Amino acid sequence: MPGVFDRLQTKIEDRNGQGGITALDLADLPPALRKIMRLMLRQIRMGYPQLCAAVDSLPEDERIPRVDLDRSLETLTSQAWLTRLGEGAKAVYKVNLRAKSGSSLAGGIWASLDEKLKK
């Protein structure tokens, strides 16, 4: 008979298998990858030329060389932080956000308020 911890572990593994990111995951990224993800989160979807232009517009001490940018994009794509459509200069990158789980809280709140208002 599976226990609470077994069910919790299964739930965690299921979420990890979904891919995608949450805001809390960004803190664990190395600085260069975190910088790219911050740029990507502003637009959600960017073509490679747009991304290069965004990196070039950063202050000089924060810019990422193209070789490192390409390597970082490959890493973020392989780790499911980004999805890539196309190849090379025609590639389009999109942030892979994790689906949010539904909340049953709102229904309970409104039901309670309705009952209080009826009294």
CATH 3.90.1150.10 fits 4-118, yes or no: no
Give me the pLDDT at residue 115, please. 77
- CB half-sphere exposure, 57, CA atoms < 13 A: 8
Q: Residue ranges of the domains in the chain?
A: 4-118
What average pLDDT does the segment 94-117 reach? 67
Gap between the Cα atoms of 14 and 93, Å rounded: 25
Residues 32-60: tens digit of each pLDDT: 998 999 899 888 899 999 999 999 999 99
What average pLDDT does the segment 88-111 reach? 71
Token pair for residue 3?
């226990």
Please give the model's pTM, rounded to 2 decimal places: 0.64
Range 73-76 contact pairs with CB under 8 angstroms and sequence separation of 24 or more: 73/36, 75/33, 76/33, 76/36, 76/37
Residue 66 has pLDDT above 90, yes or no: yes
